[in-house]
Amino acid sequence: MSEKSCWLRVTIKTGFSPKDRFVLFDSSGFSRKVGVRVPATEVDEKRSMVRVMLVEMATSQCTVTLPDHGGTYKVARDLVVVSASLRCVTVTGADDSVDPDKLLDLAEKYSLAEFGILVGNNSSVKRFPSFSWICSLQDAIERRKVVPRLSCHLCGHWAAEFLTSIRAMIPFGDKLPWGRVQINTHGEAHPVVLSHLCRTLASIEGASEDKLEVIFQRDGQNDQIFDYLNSLKVNGDRRYNVSALFDVSHGAGILPTEWPPIIPGASCGYAGGLSPDNVASELDKIALAAGDDPFWIDAETRLRSEDADTFDLVKVEQFLAGATARDQLRQLNSFPVE
């Protein structure tokens, strides 16, 4: 028997039953029967998710063992399997051209969606939202009580300050629940003061009071920054929650000829030329490069309108839907039924 863990989107109902039976379906409704076990320690009630072990079975019967603290879990038909491999799908560049409520609509519809918010030298320009838009997003989150996945992408002087200042800060941390922060260096060599950077990384906390995940670009110019910090993390220093983003196009939106393999012991993401048209095929290639390790994907340039003036929500949803459906299919196909 083979085993693999994954996240399931669930609906929590009242009334406890220690065992229940159900059949998993892919997005097209094709029955793919697998066994499911739910450890009590792997429940994320905020996102209505449980981590389970999928076990290949020869029979048509499958069982879910529920957590000890109670609750019956019913799998939502269209959100069956969120892959253990694909951590999230980051869509970057939401700005003043977008209604914040529509972002939250997508966050509720696609559990893998993460919104990358660019923060740079200027605001109220394409891809960089204004302060008033940030406040509008904060208001929408508080009004609707929806907590989307958000990552703060630092550009320009914000990125330089993060790498060198003894008092570096995460902008708008008092307004938005950042889950991650990304340092955009875009293939240009950046100075770094390691002692200051290490102090910053050791001190910052995320919305859940855990260490905020900090993403460094692997761009051929500043790789040594991440390599050093990741070596500390691999050697057991829990103060450094760092990950790497591969983007050989340096933010230009150019598709690479091949995707690099995961860095051993590191959490990695992939960007560069991804679009609604190619996300399904490229996701298969990235999954091969990543192997059994978790990863995420990020798109920006090809999610904008033809004139690049607006963050195109139609393209964004196509990208999220394409990545989600392809990942579900890939996950389900990894458990053939005899």
Last residue of a domain, one of 82, 109, 137: 82
Least confident of 47-56, 232-241, 302-311, 322-331: 47-56
CB neighbour list of residue 45: distance below 8 Å, 6 or more residues apart: 12
| DSSP bridge pairs for 55 | 3, 35
Confidence of residue 328 (pLDDT cuts 50, 70, 90): low
Mean pLDDT, range 268-296, rounded to an integer = 89
At residue 329, the pLDDT reads 65
Last residue of a domain, one of 39, 66, 82: 82
Kindly report, residue by residue over 153-204, the tens digit of the pLDDT.
999 999 999 999 998 989 999 999 999 999 999 888 899 999 999 999 988 8
166 in a domain, yes or no?
Answer: yes
Q: How many helices (H) and strands (E) does the chain have?
A: 7, 15
Is the pLDDT at 142 greater than 90, yes or no?
A: yes
Kindly report, residue by residue over 43-55, the tens digit of the pLDDT.
555 555 555 544 4
Residues 92 and 66 in one domain: no
Last residue of a domain, one of 56, 82, 108: 82
| DSSP bridge pairs for 65 | 19
pTM, to two decimals: 0.74
Least confident of 69-73, 101-105, 120-124: 69-73
Residues 58 and 178 in one domain: no
Residues 199 and 246 in one domain: yes
Q: How confident is the prediction for the chain on average, in pLDDT?
A: 76
Least confident of 115-119, 238-242, 252-256, 272-276: 252-256
Q: What percent of the chain is modeled with pLDDT above 90?
A: 43
187 in a domain, yes or no?
Answer: yes
Confidence of residue 126 (pLDDT cuts 50, 70, 90): confident
At residue 51, the pLDDT reads 55
335 in a domain, yes or no?
Answer: no
Domain ranges, residue 33: 3-82
Mean pLDDT, range 106-122, rounded to an integer = 90
CB-based burial of residue 185 (10 Å sphere; 0-12 exposed, 13-18 middle, 19+ buried)?
buried
**Residue with the larger pLDDT of the pair 249 and 59:** 249
263 backbone dihedrals φ, ψ, rounded to 5°:
-75, 125
Tokens of 290: 């990543």
338 in a domain, yes or no?
Answer: no
Confidence of residue 104 (pLDDT cuts 50, 70, 90): very high
Is the pLDDT at 27 greater than 50, yes or no?
A: no
- Per the structure, the count of domains in the chain is 2
| DSSP bridge pairs for 74 | 11
The CATH number given to whatever domain includes residue 160 is: 3.20.20.70
* CA nearest neighbour of 45 among 10, 14, 15: 10
* CA nearest neighbour of 131 among 167, 165, 176, 91: 176
Report the alpha-carbon distance of residue 335 to residue 157 in Å, rounded: 48
At residue 235, the pLDDT reads 81
Is the pLDDT at 259 greater than 90, yes or no?
A: yes
Is the pLDDT at 79 greater than 50, yes or no?
A: no
Residues 132 and 273 in one domain: yes
At residue 111, the pLDDT reads 86
**Residue with the larger pLDDT of the pair 25 and 104:** 104
